[in-house]
């Protein structure tokens, strides 16, 4: 008999498993993939740690989370400074003085502010109150030139919808700065675990029994009978057999190539921001760890529509889906001895630091004296 059966070996399930094991609880992890770590999983090939499910850069504003995660790995000093490739032209991201300088051939913050302000005024003449969608939010933050070159095409590819049909919150993640600063994030703590993410998960799960290639939902009766409680970190609507309808997600398809050259693009991440290029990003993995190997590995990230046969990578947190999620949450409350958590279980656009925080909050509630 187990104390917990945890469906999913991603960050949420693994942090919970680690903390529960530390408290003497016996945990069984069932994972439907053939690897642990969920989307953080890295695989070592050509002596390069490949982020098989997309670039994962750890960052946080919380000293407590930073100290917590560094129990399991040393982090390097990587700072995410991606580039935008717009029809062959290269610009710095996030939107900052380096971007504006190249885009408008200007040099001072005042010049940039004046251009953005005048573009914002003419593009949003009729806007009353707060921006209501991603297009209005982007125009209001950076004006029409930046919107047209770097946001419109990329976002429509990424989400498969027009920017005016997407929530404004998606774009608020990205900093806009009037300084020459290419750090994609504002958080004071940032880095990549030396050796990749998988060793972190091996440590987190070292005290648990792990069953790979096992879909919890296909064996749930048997698994529920073997554990006092279940933590489900897969998609909440899948747990309930989509009985209220499917939540919407965005899926991705990755291709990976080994190249017989040491350096392909000179930076870990390049965003292709035009509408025509079918992929959104090319990742060159060795640059996450300043690699000097003879060969290199690159991955292209193609967004795709989600259906039940595909991986649900991104929740689409618009009003319609939030309302449906709220109904699933109600159902979840009446599900005895089953907890839900993580990006899919809570249907939230969580980054790793958010997942760690949320998992530790659940631990506090679960093991409160």
Binding residue for ligand UDP (CB under 6 A) from 85, 96, 137, 273?
273
Can you read off the two tokens belonging to residue 86?
A: 């717009």
Site string for ligand FAD, 108-137 (x = CB under 6 A): ------------------------------
Contacted by 174, from ligand UDP, ligand FAD, none: CB < 5 to 8 Å by type: ligand UDP
Distances (CA, A) of 34 to 210, 215, 223: 11, 11, 19
249 vs 269: CA distance, rounded Å: 23
Among 23, 162, 173, 257, the active-site one is 173
Task: Give CA 283 to chain center in angstroms.
Answer: 14
Site string for ligand FAD, 46-85 (x = CB under 6 A): --------xxxxx---------------------------
End-to-end CA gap in the chain: 23
> What's the DSSP call for residue 65?
H
Among 120, 177, 328, 347, the active-site one is 177
DSSP string covering 219-283: GHHHHHHHEEEEEE-S-HHHHTTTTT-PPPEEEEEEEEEEESSS-SSSSSEEEE-SSSSS-SEEE
Q: Which residue in 301, 203, 215, 192 sits closest to 33, CA to CA?
A: 215
Q: Is 168 a residue that touches ligand UDP (CB under 6 A)?
A: no
Contact yes or no for 10/233 (Cβ under 8 A): yes
90 vs 77: CA distance, rounded Å: 24
343 among known catalytic residues: no
The count of chain residues that interact with ligand FAD, using the rule CB under 6 A, is: 34
Among 19, 250, 289, 313, the active-site one is 250
349 among known catalytic residues: yes
250 among known catalytic residues: yes
Q: Is 11 a residue that touches ligand FAD (CB under 6 A)?
A: yes
Binding residue for ligand FAD (CB under 6 A) from 18, 19, 38, 287?
38
Q: Is 155 a residue that touches ligand UDP (CB under 6 A)?
A: yes
Distance of closest approach, residue 173 Cβ to ligand UDP, in angstroms: 4
34 among known catalytic residues: no
177 among known catalytic residues: yes
364 vs 302: CA distance, rounded Å: 38
DSSP string covering 124-142: TTT--SS--SHHHHHHHHH
Binding residue for ligand FAD (CB under 6 A) from 120, 157, 286, 343?
343
Give the SS3 label for residue 2.
strand
Q: Is 233 a residue that touches ligand UDP (CB under 6 A)?
A: no
The count of chain residues that interact with ligand UDP, using the rule CB under 6 A, is: 13
Among 135, 301, 346, 354, the active-site one is 301
Q: Is 185 a residue that touches ligand UDP (CB under 6 A)?
A: no
CA atoms within 13 A on the CB side of 297: 22
Q: Is 268 a residue that touches ligand FAD (CB under 6 A)?
A: no
Binding residue for ligand UDP (CB under 6 A) from 98, 271, 277, 296?
271
**β 249-259/296-305 pair status:** antiparallel
Q: Which residue in 31, 25, 33 sits closest to 219, CA to CA?
A: 31
Binding residue for ligand UDP (CB under 6 A) from 170, 205, 235, 359?
170
Query: What positions carry a catalytic annotation?
Result: 173, 177, 250, 281, 301, 349, 351
Which spans of this chain sit near ligand FAD (rule: CB under 6 A)?
Answer: 7-13, 30-33, 38-40, 54-58, 215-217, 233-234, 252, 313, 342-344, 350-353, 355
């Amino acid at each position: 008999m187990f104390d917990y059966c945890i469906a999913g070996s991603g960050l949420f399930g693994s942090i919970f498993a680690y903390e529960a094991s530390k408290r003497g609880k016996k945990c069984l992890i069932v994972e439907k993939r053939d690897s642990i770590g969920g989307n953080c999983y890295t695989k070592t090939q050509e002596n390069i740690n490949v982020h098989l499910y997309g670039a994962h850069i750890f960052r946080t504003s919380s000293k407590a989370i930073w100290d917590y995660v560094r129990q399991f790995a040393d982090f390097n000093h990587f700072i995410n400074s991606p580039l935008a490739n717009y029809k062959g032209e290269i610009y710095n991201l996030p939107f900052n003085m380096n971007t504006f300088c190249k885009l408008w051939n200007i040099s001072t913050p005042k010049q940039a502010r004046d251009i953005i302000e005048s573009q914002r005024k003419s593009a949003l003449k009729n806007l009353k109150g707060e921006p209501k969608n991603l297009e209005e939010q982007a125009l209001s933050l950076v004006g029409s030139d930046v919107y047209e070159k770097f946001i419109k095409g990329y976002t429509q590819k990424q989400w498969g919808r027009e920017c005016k049909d997407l929530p404004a919150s998606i774009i608020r993640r990205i900093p806009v700065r009037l300084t020459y600063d290419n750090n994609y994030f504002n958080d004071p703590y940032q880095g990549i675990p030396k050796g990749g993410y998988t060793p972190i998960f091996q440590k987190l799960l070292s005290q648990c029994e792990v069953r790979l290639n096992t879909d919890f939902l296909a064996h749930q009766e048997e698994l529920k009978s073997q554990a006092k409680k279940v933590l489900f970190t897969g998609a909440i609507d899948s747990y309930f057999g989509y009985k209220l309808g499917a939540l919407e997600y965005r899926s991705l398809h990755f291709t990976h190539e080994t190249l017989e050259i040491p350096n392909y693009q000179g930076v870990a991440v390049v965003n292709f921001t035009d509408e025509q290029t079918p992929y959104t990003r090319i990742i060159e993995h060795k640059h996450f760890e300043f690699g000097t190997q003879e060969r290199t590995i690159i991955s292209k990230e193609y967004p795709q529509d989600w259906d039940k046969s595909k991986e649900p990578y991104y929740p689409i947190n618009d009003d319609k889906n939030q309302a449906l999620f709220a109904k699933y949450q109600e159902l979840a409350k009446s599900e005895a001895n089953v907890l839900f958590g993580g990006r899919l279980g809570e249907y939230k656009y969580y980054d790793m630091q958010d997942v760690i925080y949320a998992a530790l909050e659940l631990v506090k509630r679960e093991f409160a004296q």
